[in-house]
Chain A
Amino acid sequence: MRFAIQYRCAYGYEQAVSDQHNAVRVQPAETPTQRVDSYELTVTPRARQFNYRDYFGTEVSEFNVWESHDRLLIEARARVTTSVPAPPPETGFDPLAVPDYRDRVEEYLVRDGSGGRVDELARELSAESPLELVRSVCELIPSRFEYRQGVTYVGSTVDDLFDAGAGVCQDFVHLGLILLRRHGVAARYVSGYLFAADADGGEDSVEVDTHAWLEALLPGAGPDGGYGWVGADPTNRRLTGEQHVKIGHGRHYADVPPVKGVYRGAPSSELDVNVRMTKLGG
């Protein structure tokens, strides 16, 4: 599928601020199933952009506005072409116990210290294959927790999710990661865009938020039958497909936030983010 994506993030400050530094991660990634045809980032007030690829391979753009300003506008436009990922095979769990697996992806396997409630939930999961485990996680979480905005925030932990019984995609993914890692499956957090409309029929253009899902390293899913990263979306109970456009991944949200910044001034600010995704013909 082909998409035109327009990301817009606007900050408004009650009192003018200055010396603002931001790191932005909104550029779609190049992957075997995703190609970026064009990309452009504009910042207002104008600022010089410094681009690099970080440790996780995500494209980052940093900029600095030092004179006094009371609003900041970050706009990104991209055109991407996605293809359907090959369906991953069913395999046993043995390939996960190999030292080579651990060694490669240790940082995505690190056990979290979360307590009893996570353990309980983890025990409810049982599967014959790692792939089935991933699917179960994507069923279990949305059936136990409600998708609701406003109860959790950027710094929320899994405990907060349990307490509230509800959360957003970020929280679902964090929980999913813990559950998978507990069962020895390496899993990473993915940030991206989801064209959240029916692929056939329905609108061509929707307004969405940036979305989060996970990727699990499964045996046999790689190009020559080796290990490969398989995307799964616990918020939407499914493996990822053509409508998921990836930005980047990390161990958790903090490794791949769309916008991160600091500035000098009073902490009161208003944030308005929206993303418009348009399906393009052809």
Chain B
Amino acid sequence: MEGGSRIGPGLAAEPNGGLTAGFAPEPGFYDELFEAPGRPRPHAAALVEALERMGPDRLRAAGERRDAIFVQQGITFDATGADDDNPVVDRPFPLDLIPRIIPAGEWTRIKRGLAQRLRALNRFIEDVYHDREIVQDGVVPWELIVTRPAFERAAHRIRPPGGVWCHVSGCDLVRGADGGWKVLEDNVRTPSGISYVLENRIAMTRLLPELFAGYRVRPVNDYPQVLLAALRAVAPAVNPTVVVWTPGPANSAYFEHAFLARQMGVELVEASDLVVHDATCYMRTTDGLAQVDAIYRRLDDAFIDPLAFRPDSLLGVPGLMRCYRTGNVALANAVGTGVADDKAVYHYVPEMIRYYLAEEPILENVKTYMLDDPEQREYVFDNIERLVVKPTGESGGKGVFIGPTATEEQHQAQIDLVKIAPERWIAQETVALSTVPTVSADGTLAPRHVDLRPFAVFGDDIKIVPCGLSRVALREGSMIVNSSQGGGSKDTWILEGDGTGDGFEPVHDVYNPPTMPGMRQAGWAEQQRQQQQERGR
């Protein structure tokens, strides 16, 4: 394993019957790394080469090491299995070792599009709970908004500290057969997954550092600091106390809550640690009560305060809404953002962008049909074998019906289901999700469908850290990528440049450590490389 200047452009790797030789993109779908069998895209050439040099045995060994590391560290995301009787088991989170690469130019467009979208959503949510101008001007029907389950009457006329509603958002993007990016859905309630992004990068730099050679991958590890800065910026206090509020260790995303609290250096609290006196929120410490100014909460609105919401919620803090209404505590995300999270409201987002920002949307929506409209409903029923039908208020892929892979009986069953409450459903055209080579069960690389969830943080400004959770459907042909439904993930590389490496750049400086008595220098080489990878380029 020698130091890393890479082979120059134009020299294709010799197919040696190794990893990528047999790989062929699926016709009709856009593969992100390969244009055609044996022909990697320009930005992927260096990666493909490195994979060839590595070979299948080394890849397999890296996979085994990865499994061991993840189990030991306790990184999991519980999967709801096919049958509810199966208890949730600790299994290694499926990080696929082949990364996904997004060159800088593409990322810039994505970033701008997301920031635009987020600004519009923020304005919309504020509008919904205040003057409802977008309704008065006839752009969005009030009937739609007021029937959304996540429309929170308790948020009426509240101005969140800092004026921000969606502090953390994760909009899911997909790439169609033409290579163009579209937004599949907006997640502005409690989007999760960032901890996997961060842990995946650390794992990749440890397991397969040689793949990074020849690329300048933008670092992701400042996300927790970005989040902390945003939380501090919106907090209504000069030297604010920030906490992360978790439902507790039984929650499937607990690992992420603890991870973020640890990385930000703030307390991880549960409901029993918080208490409200009058209109101030405190946490119980061994030195008495300490005032809390900003809470990054990972609970849905309905559970946060038994006085204002569900009275049976043991996960809530009575009186918290009072503190929030009075402006004494900032909640991230704000109460009531779920109204924008709804799949029926999603349909109107391009209009929101035009209405609030007077701009044309940079990123497109996927064509959506509103099933409470009789005409569109008719169309959808007639074409259901081509379409995807989704419940408007769910997240995590629950209840999604895929027309193309269902039987006629199932089509009819779904139609009947929709007829009961059509306003609770939407339908979308299927997007031919792009693919990325992924390690399949037999160790060879095969194309698997992916989506992308970048994370945006809105504090005193919108910051989109150069990263994203690329979720991959591990089963052949499947397009359901949610981790809670058995999907996996890939490390996502946002590049500084376009990845074709204009000019050579030595990736590491040569470093000679002082010799310790009785220690051999050779042992240091491996550590050198990893150290420099993590030094953030």
Contact = CB atoms under 8 A, between A and B. Distances in A.
Interface of A: 19, 21-23, 48, 50, 52-56, 62, 64, 66, 102-104, 106-107, 110, 255, 260-262
A256 to B, nearest CB: 11
B306 interface: yes
B311 interface: yes
Contact of B307 (A23, A53, A110, A255): A23
A21 B276 CA distance: 9
A186 to B, nearest CB: 12
Contacts of B146: 106-107
30 contacts: A19-B275, A21-B276, A21-B307, A21-B322, A23-B308, A50-B278, A50-B279, A52-B325, A53-B157, A54-B156, A55-B154, A55-B157, A56-B153, A62-B307, A62-B322, A64-B319, A64-B322, A66-B275, A102-B143, A103-B141, A103-B142, A103-B143, A104-B142, A106-B142, A107-B147, A260-B311, A261-B307, A262-B306, A262-B307, A262-B311
B142 A19 contact: no
Contacts of A107: 146-147
A48 B311 CA distance: 23
B311 A55 contact: no
Given A21-B276, A21-B307, 9 more contacts: A19-B318, A48-B278, A50-B326, A54-B153, A54-B154, A54-B156, A64-B278, A66-B275, A102-B143
Contacts of A260: 307, 311
Contact of A110 (B147, B153, B278, B319): B147
Contacts of B279: 50
Contacts of A52: 325
A282 B13 CA distance: 101
A53 B278 CA distance: 18
Interface of B: 141-143, 146-147, 153-154, 156-157, 275-279, 306-308, 311, 318-319, 322, 325-326
B147 A21 contact: no
Nearest to B151: A107
A19 B319 CA distance: 10
B164 to A, nearest CB: 21
Contacts of A22: 307
A48 B142 CA distance: 37
A72 B282 CA distance: 24
Contact of A262 (B141, B278, B318, B326): B318
B143 A106 contact: yes
Contacts of A261: 307
A246 B311 CA distance: 26
B322 A50 contact: yes
Given A21-B318, A102-B143, A103-B142, A55 B156 contact: yes
Contacts of B306: 262
A188 B153 CA distance: 16
Q: Which 8 residue pairs are nearest across A and B when measured between Cβ atoms? A: A55-B153, A55-B156, A106-B143, A21-B318, A21-B319, A262-B318, A107-B146, A21-B307
A147 B365 CA distance: 55
A104 B277 CA distance: 39
B277 A64 contact: yes
Contacts of A103: 141-143
A262 B316 CA distance: 11
Contacts of A62: 307, 319, 322
Contacts of B318: 19, 21, 262
Contacts of B308: 23
Contact of A66 (B147, B277, B307): B277
Contact of B276 (A23, A53, A56, A64): A64
Contacts of B277: 64, 66
Nearest to A264: B318
A23 B320 CA distance: 12
A22 B156 CA distance: 19
A211 B279 CA distance: 31
Contacts of B154: 54-55
A19 B276 CA distance: 8
